Structure 1
Amino acid sequence: MSETDKKVGGGPLAGIRVLDLTSNVLGPTATQILGDMGADVIKIEAPEGDYTRYVGPSRSHGMGSFFLNINRNKRSMVLDLKKPECRETLLELVETADVFVHSMRLGAAQRLGIDYAAISARNPRIVYASAGGYRQDSSRAEWPAFDDVIQGVSGIAALNGHASGEPRYFPTVICDKLCGYVLASSIGMALYACERQGIGQEVHVPMMETMVGFNMLEHLWAGVFDEPEKGLGYSRMLTPHRRPYRTLDGYVCLLANTDEQWRRMFGVIDRPDLVGDPRFAEIAPRSRNIDALYEIVTDAMSRRTTDDWRKRLDAADIPNGPVLTLDEIFHDPYLKETDFFHRTTHPTEGAFVTMSVPTRFSETPAGVCRLPPRLGEHTGEIVEELERHKAREGDGRRRVAAATSK
């Protein structure tokens, strides 16, 4: 743990040092999570900086909003790894680290001399983690992949366009972000294994398999029994009526799920005659008749205002909520209550909003200890720490040598 991090402290990963060579979205999402959990994350950037530094509105060059939102709780160090002396500095840092993360393809890491074999040779206990489009032992190992591509090949784009007949991307980088969460979680588990067994290892998250597993969790359907001809896809997810319901003055979201909830729901929409309807009485026939059921609810919802429906649904304990725009979310009273959009001041960027860490730990609280860094902001600081570490290691070796020579 760095001396600077000792002052910051906190979080279940306090004392863990992460060397972060990632860029764009997936990797920085993962390493920000590790930083939120208390790890000392050193973001190693090329002289031009992470690409996302230049995406979105900004007040300063290289400090775009996209970068700022996925690079808090990190220190920035500039190293040109094409230069031997910079690569050697990185390898010296590897000796002080617990985790090494990159987002390069396997061939690129090998050409730079920072593949698993090279890094583990300097630190056998290190957790060496990466993510790519496809498995490293597959024929697609070197294929490039970004979020849009993986949304397509994993089936998400086709499912998202099921109602309209045209495949569509989710208007968010869902694959990058989800795989970033999986990468962070996998690193955490590898650290646990290292703690218990004393071994380092390589961890790789392939986006393709990760997103197919995520996507097909419910949609494998009859494929679970190796009978895909009987249908793939969860029928309730695929009905065109599964969407926010239009009311007299807006929209409302709701979901009745259990048999009892549906009995209450029929009372809410003034259709008690449906309580004993064999099409809807139990989950199996409801699934077979989901289009008809949702069409009934759609028709009923159009007859009252959103506020009227929400009062009725609340009274019946049916999960429901409004359809909020991005602007409404930014000003949502509940999120204000929980201080989710936390307002502070960035040392160089001025008035600043950062999102709070949602997860709560009773004894090792996570949090935001560092605001996003300027390019290379901590290079000098980290080099000084490394020099002190090397000096201590040298003193230790000399003491051992002196003791063994007596």
Structure 2
Amino acid sequence: MGPLSGVTILDLTSVLMGPYATQTLADMGANVIKVESPDGDIVRHIGPGRTPGMGGMFLNTNRGKRSIVIDLKQDEGRATLLRLAATANVVIYNVRPQAMARLGLGYEQLAAANPSIIYVGVFGYGQNGPYAAKPAYDDLIQGAAGVPTLLAAAGDGTPRYVPITIADRIVGLMAVNATLGGLMHQQRTGQGQRIDVPMFESMAEFVLVDHLGGLTYDPPLDHGGYARLLSRYRKPYKTSDGYLCVLIYNDKQWRSFFEAIDRNDFLAQPRFANHAARTQHIDEIYEEIGGIFLTRTTADWRELLERADIPVMPMHTMESILEDPHLDAVGFFKTLDHPVEGRIRQTQVASTWSVTQPQAGGPAPTLGEHARDILGEAGFSTDEIERLGRTKAVHLPG
């Protein structure tokens, strides 16, 4: 019984951004109904996987949901969705608003079916600007928000994308926040509303918190950018036998570090006097400290740094993180039996709640698996359900 128990969400999203948002809401106990096209969510086909349509990435962004296949290009399919929306709290979609309008599923149509509906759109760009109708994907939004430029400045000068769908995940979580705010207003007033969560604006704000810098001021004080984050030497330190992630940050930590390695002479240097001085000389400091880390093994450094209370963590691979002792102790990974895929590993909800603990829901659904149950709960008779199946407005399983 999570905090969103009793809330019904119609999930018209696909790929990664929207499904990640709705999975987070499902973990909180919401009844998430994943409405798929006859071809299914394209992420179903991103491998590896054991069976077609059930790739690993799909399993990790769609747990706890139920699936129904509705052909929204058919009038009966559209009518079916509107009937489902009449008893839902939220509709979330992540295609362009123009596409929803062409389907006859804009906010006005959904609000006519259910005046209290929260209609959340997660798409590329705000609808009042010249980019309004442009398509958007994670790579494009990373570029538009300046991420490749920052990576080029911090590296070898080559722009590149972060090797995570970071815009999809960040904006997906912003969509969760917006949905929760909309639900609170709905619960207090009974009033529905349209909420747009544009990727470009959301990521621009996210990036500029760190890097607007002197451009905050008018006239500007510099060209923007946070020097410490942009240092090309800001990376895991190479030791004599591996790598280690260390952050020596405040005055106390720098003193403790130099005392631990018996190099108090560094403390007399003006560049280590305070945070502002260290930031001004960050490249040369990080480069010099990198040379020091080459003199000992990873294990020796971990012992020394932990004894000196200096922040340190291992540099995991995708395989070694599965064996991390802390994640093991908190039960972050669980292995379960998927009805189609057999044994799978699943991450758990990271936050802990004293009363309404969210939890990872049931396994990700097969395509259209729950159609009969979903329609029956919405008041469709058996004859209506079978007729929808015959016309292929709804694809019934089995």
TM-score bucket (shorter structure):
over 0.9
* Residue 199 (structure 1) aligns with: 191
Contact 2:65 2:361 in 1 (8 A): no
Q: Paired residue for 1:186, among 172, 178, 187?
A: 178
Q: What corresponds to 1:253 in structure 2?
A: 245
Aligned to 1:329: 321
The answer to whether residue 70 in structure 2 is matched with residue 70 in structure 1 is no
Q: Which amino acid counterpart does residue 131 of structure 1 have in structure 2?
A: V
Equivalence map 1:72-221=2 (5 Å): 72-162=63-153, 163-221=155-213
Query: Which of 252, 267, 276 matches 1:275?
Result: 267
Larger deviation: 72-81 or 293-302? 293-302
2:288 pairs with 1:296 = yes
Superposed displacement of residue 286, structure 1: 1.2
- Contact 1:45/1:79 (<8 A) preserved: yes
Q: Which moves more between the two structures, 20-29 or 63-72?
A: 63-72
Match of 1:238 in 2: 230
Corresponding residue for residue 396 of structure 2:
none
Equivalence for 1:402: none
| Structure 2 Cα separation of the partners of residues 23 and 156 of structure 1 | 24
Shift of residue 229, structure 1, vs aligned partner: 5.8
CA RMSD of aligned residues (A): 1.5
- Structure-2 separation of matches of 1:290 and 1:226: 26
Match of 1:287 in 2: 279
Deviations 1:104-163 (A, max 9, x none): 101100000111111111111111001111101211111011011111111001112221
Q: Over residues 308-351 of structure 1, what are the superposed CA-to-partner deviations in whole Å (9 max), with x where a residue is unaligned?
A: 11111111100001111111012222222222121010112111
Q: Deviations over 1:262-310 (max 9, x none)?
A: 1112223332012232221111111111122212211111111111111
In the alignment, is the contact (CA less than 8 A) between 1:25 and 1:176 conserved in 2?
Answer: yes
Q: What's 1:222 paired with? A: 214
The answer to whether structure 1 residue 18 and structure 2 residue 22 are counterparts is no
For CA contacts below 8 A with separation 6 or more, give which structure has more relative contact order. 2
| Match of residue 366 from structure 2 | 374
- In structure 2, do the counterparts of structure 1 residues 227 and 268 end up closer, same or farther at CA, with 3 Å as the change threshold? farther
| Matched letter for residue 105 of structure 1 | R
Who is 2:346 aligned against? 354
State the alpha-carbon separation in 2 of the partners of residues 324 and 306 from structure 1.
13
In structure 1, give the amino acid aligned to 2:169. Answer: K
Tell me the TM-score normalized by structure 2: 0.93
Runs of 4+ in 1 over 6 A off after TM superposition: none
Letter of the aligned partner of 2:21 in structure 1?
A
Which segment drifts farther, 185-194 or 261-270?
261-270
Encode CA deviations 1:161-220: one digit per residue, 9 max, x unaligned: 221100011111111111111111110111112122332111111111111111111111
Choose which of 23, 34, 43 in structure 2 pairs with 1:32: 23
In the TM superposition, what is the alpha-carbon distance from 1:388 to its structure 2 partner? 6.3
Question: Number of matched residues?
Answer: 381
1:315 is matched by which residue type in structure 2? Answer: R
Instruction: Tell me which amino acid in the other structure corresponds to 1:323.
Output: M
Structure 1 unaligned segments of length 5 or more: list them: 1-9, 390-406
**1:75-122 CA deviation, whole Å, 9 max, x = no partner?**
000100011111111101111000000011011000001111111111
TM-score, structure 1 normalization: 0.91
Which AA in structure 2 matches 1:332? Answer: D
Please list every run of 5 or more consecutive structure 2 residues that lacks an aligned counterpart in the other structure: 382-398
Distance 1:253 1:66 in 2: 28
Distance in 2 of aligned mates of 1:323 and 1:85: 54
Is residue 60 of structure 1 aligned with residue 56 of structure 2? no
Do the aligned partners of 1:269 and 1:300 also contact (CA within 8 Å) in 2? no
Give the C-alpha shift of residue 231 in structure 1.
Answer: 2.6
- Of 37-46 and 327-336, more deviation after overlay is shown by 327-336
Give the 3-state SS of the residue equivalent to 1:279 in structure 2.
helix
Q: Could you tell me how far apart the structure 2 residues matched to 1:269 and 1:154 are? A: 41
Secondary structure of the 1:275 match is helix
Tell me the distance in 2 between the aligned counterparts of 1:243 and 1:205: 33
Residue 308 of structure 1 aligns to which amino acid in structure 2?
A: D
